[in-house]
A and B are shown apart, each in its own frame.
Chain A
Amino acid sequence: MAEKRDRWHSRTSFIMAAVGSAVGLGNVWRFPYVAYESGGGAFLIPYFIALFTAGIPMLILEMGLGQRLQMGAPGVFGAIRKSWQWFGWWAAGLSACIVIYYSTILSWSWVYLWHSFKLAWGTNPEQFFMQEVLQKSSGPAEMGAPIWYLVVGSILTWAAIYIILRKGVRNVSKVVMITVPLPMVLLTVLLIRGLTLPGAMDGISYYLTPDFSKLADANIWLRAYGQIFFSLSLASGVMIGYGSYLGRKAEVTNSALITGLANCGTSFFAGFAVFSMLGYLAQVQGMPVPDVTASGTGLAFVAYPTAILKLPALSVLFGIIFFVTLLMLGIDSAFALQEAFTTGLHDKWKIKPEKLALGFVAVAMPISLVFTTHGGFYWFDIVDKWICDFGLVAAGLAQCIAVGYLYDIHDFRRYLNSISEVRLGNWWIWALRFVTPAVLTVILVMNVRNEIMATYEDYPRWATNVGGWGTLIICAIVSWILARRPGKIKE
């Protein structure tokens, strides 16, 4: 008798899990900065157009494929064309690679949570981050040994991922009821604190005041599509995997709409929490807002902690709240990435969730220790850049081509309309066949061109070849091997 597939506890828990996967650190540390740099409030125009012409169509595609075929990415692409199972493993493999280095960001967050109790970053948070936390070496060649407290943070992260995933999506259904709403509540607390500080409106003014002249720059539109693409966990097998645990009559289209709007709504909201605090920091330091504005790790581990230190009261509390928020935002993205890969293993070899969770963590955790070394930050930077700018973009492009041209997409649209609350028109097919592939092609070509013209961040070529192209090649080889191994990929 065929083993019954694991199911989400409810539609709500599926949507929460999908939102949890999509909403991550980038919603806080990347979107607000990109918007600010790209015309402020005017950026919302290309951003929403990208959401509705690429982001949501692809969400519907991925969730729908998983739901219809009841398999993760390897099985789904193997069903489209037998020889494409390899591609499904490639997409899911990228997720596996991402979670390996993503765990390191969570490790930093654990360390900063610890340091929040004494606001240990002091008056020179940049030096604190680079020299005391990362103990950064001079370059990627000087790896050094793993730093013990980052290893502890890494262990905590992997232990959490194992505990959450060992009982499959039924357990995930419960966990996301905490890990998704809690950071929203905490962001609200940070927002209220931010808005009540002097200088807050000045910061928000920089975030939101539109500069419509920027819309004439094609790069701004590409940036919007790129931001949507990466923000929604697309092309990584996550949404296909999560969709595969939906019931055979489960709704897809409206769930995808809710996921996309909730993700972007969180980004928009987070921008106010970030820029109100940056506005305050600028006022306190007597500097213009642009001079204190930062993104990525510079925001999370330097600028925001600086602002927290200068709060008039309860700095320790707000420091704890901020880093707990980062941890909650990151953890459900992390286990979604792992699940994207282990779903493929489960589909093909019927390995139980407990063994999958343990096996994956046992392999991934030692590898992730590379990123806890003195040179680890450089390798994290390189691997992340290559996986995102080349791997995921290529995966997204191939996915659109596979479904748009090799699969009966008209029949797929009819199928989705038969189970969904919101009807899809032909615009969805045009979005997947033309708009999204065109944009992804331009992004990919530009990324390749930029890399040829100048090495990323002036890293030595050997480092980007090993860490960047090397990671993608290893991922491709492993994917090919997994695809060739015999197993039962069909349910």
Chain B
Amino acid sequence: MHISGWIMFIFGCLILYGGLTICICIAKKGRGENGDSR
């Protein structure tokens, strides 16, 4: 595959899976499981 394809692969992974990881980390640090404030 051309290098441009690899670049788009990394771009897609960063946005999607990087973003997902950040959001999940925020969720784990944030509110309680049932929506109660910590």
Binding site for B on A (CB under 8 A): 7, 10-12, 40-42, 44, 48, 201, 204-205, 208-210, 246-251, 254-255, 257-258, 261-262, 264-265, 268, 419, 421-422
Kindly report which residue of chain B lies nearest to residue A255, judged by CB atoms: B27
Chain A residues closer than 8 Å to B7, beta-carbon distance: 41, 210
Of A44, A48, A246, the contact of B35 (CB 8 Å cutoff): A246
- Contact yes or no, A208 B8, CB < 8 A: yes
- Contact yes or no, A10 B34, CB < 8 A: yes
Please list 22 pairs of residues, one from A and one from B, whose beta carbons are closer than 8 Å in the complex, sorted by A's number: A7-B34, A11-B35, A40-B5, A41-B7, A42-B8, A44-B11, A201-B1, A205-B2, A208-B8, A209-B2, A210-B4, A247-B34, A249-B31, A250-B34, A250-B35, A251-B31, A254-B23, A254-B27, A254-B30, A258-B20, A264-B16, A268-B16
Chain A residues closer than 8 Å to B34, beta-carbon distance: 7, 10-11, 247, 250
Q: A48-B15, A205-B1 are in contact. Are A261 and B23 (CB under 8 A)?
A: yes
Q: A10-B34, A11-B35, A251-B31 are in contact. Are A210 and B5 (CB under 8 A)?
A: yes
Task: Please report whether the interface of chain A is mostly helix, strand, loop or mixed according to DSSP.
Answer: helix
Kindly report which residue of chain B lies nearest to residue A208, judged by CB atoms: B5
Question: Which has the most chain B C-beta neighbours within 10 Å: A41, A201, A247, A248?
Answer: A41
Chain A residues closer than 8 Å to B13, beta-carbon distance: 268
B interface residue count range (under 10 / 10 to 19 / 20 to 34 / 35 or more): 20 to 34
- Contact yes or no, A265 B1, CB < 8 A: no
Chain A residues closer than 8 Å to B9, beta-carbon distance: 41, 208
Q: Which residues in chain B, 9-32, are within 8 Å of chain A measured between CB atoms?
A: 9, 11-13, 15-17, 19-20, 23-24, 26-27, 30-31
- Contact yes or no, A41 B8, CB < 8 A: yes
Question: Which has the most chain B C-beta neighbours within 10 Å: A201, A247, A258, A261?
Answer: A261
- Contact yes or no, B27 A258, CB < 8 A: yes
New A-B pairs, 15, CB < 8 Å, besides A209-B5, A258-B27, A268-B16: A10-B33, A12-B33, A41-B12, A44-B12, A204-B5, A208-B1, A209-B4, A247-B34, A250-B34, A250-B35, A251-B30, A264-B16, A265-B17, A419-B35, A421-B30
Chain B residues closer than 8 Å to A262, beta-carbon distance: 20
- A295 nearest CB across to chain B (Å): 19
- A194 nearest CB across to chain B (Å): 14
- Contact yes or no, A44 B8, CB < 8 A: yes
- Contact yes or no, A40 B16, CB < 8 A: no
Chain A residues closer than 8 Å to B23, beta-carbon distance: 254, 257-258, 261, 422
Kindly report which residue of chain A lies nearest to residue B35, judged by CB atoms: A250
